[in-house]
Amino acid sequence: MQGLTYKYYRKNGTKTIYIILHGGGAVGVETDFISSIFDAIAATKNSVLCFNFPYCERGEESSSGPKLKEEVDALKQVVDFAHLKGFHKIRIVAKSLGGIIASYYLEQYPDSQIELSILGYIPGEIKQGAISNNLKLVIQGTNDRFASPIEVKKNVGSLVEIIKILDADHSYRNSKKEPVYQETAIKELMKWVKKC
């Protein structure tokens, strides 16, 4: 995976890999939240990979532009790598902007074998039509500035499981901006991981 910073845990004999997509900001996979998700999934003896989008490598805060070409190309490189390594099932765990990028990717490269969970769904930005067959889980704070869990349900329909985190904002923080609900979000995500 040329030009990408990534963390990769391969559990021998597994046919499923979890690919974690980080949200906006210049830190990417090194954020405590993304690292904690990676560690929690790896602890279940599942293979897992997370990587920085190219804008992170440049120290920029946000994506390459309206078509997200650079980000989609990076995700394609990672998905191709996963297939090359023999993984049959890909499950994407996407935070915020990562969910938008996953939707752009699946619009260009539809794949019914990919399952998607989004932590912090952003209506109007995510191409819902492109992920309607892939999206399985949304974890949304009740104080998310982009949408409440009820608004998300209107966008995604009744077949998607929506977990609401009471009093949490878009980054699973409380009103004092303390990330106190991130652990709750990870616990909910891990229930989905363990079900499969």
Radius of gyration of the chain (CA): 15
Mean predicted confidence (pLDDT) in 153-162:
94
Q: Of 176, 50, 72, 70, which Cα lies nearest the Cα of 119?
A: 50
3-state DSSP helix/strand/coil percent for the chain, to nearest 5? 35, 20, 45
Cβ–Cβ < 8 Å for 44, 75 = no
Q: Write the pLDDT tens digit of every residue in 168-178.
A: 999 999 999 99
How is residue 43 annotated by DSSP? T
pLDDT exceeds 80 at position 196: no
Q: How far apart are CA 83 and CA 7, in angstroms?
A: 17
Mean predicted confidence (pLDDT) in 4-9:
95
Q: Write the pLDDT tens digit of every residue in 97-126.
A: 999 999 999 999 999 999 999 999 999 999
Helices (H), the chain: 32-42, 54-57, 69-84, 97-108, 128-131, 149-156, 182-195
Q: Write the pLDDT tens digit of every residue in 39-90.
A: 999 999 999 999 999 988 888 877 767 789 999 999 999 999 999 999 999 9
| Per-residue pLDDT at 60 | 82
CA atoms within 13 A on the CB side of 11: 14
Cβ–Cβ < 8 Å for 92, 114 = yes
Q: And the tokens for 10?
A: 């391969």
Q: How far apart are CA 27 and CA 61, in angstroms?
A: 8
Residue 57 one-letter amino acid: E
pTM score, two decimals? 0.96
Q: What is the pLDDT of the chain when averaged over all its residues?
A: 94
Q: What angle do CA 173, 174, 178 make, to 5 degrees?
A: 60
pLDDT exceeds 80 at position 164: yes
- 89: three-class secondary structure by DSSP: strand
C-alpha 173: how far from its chain's center? 18
| Per-residue pLDDT at 132 | 95
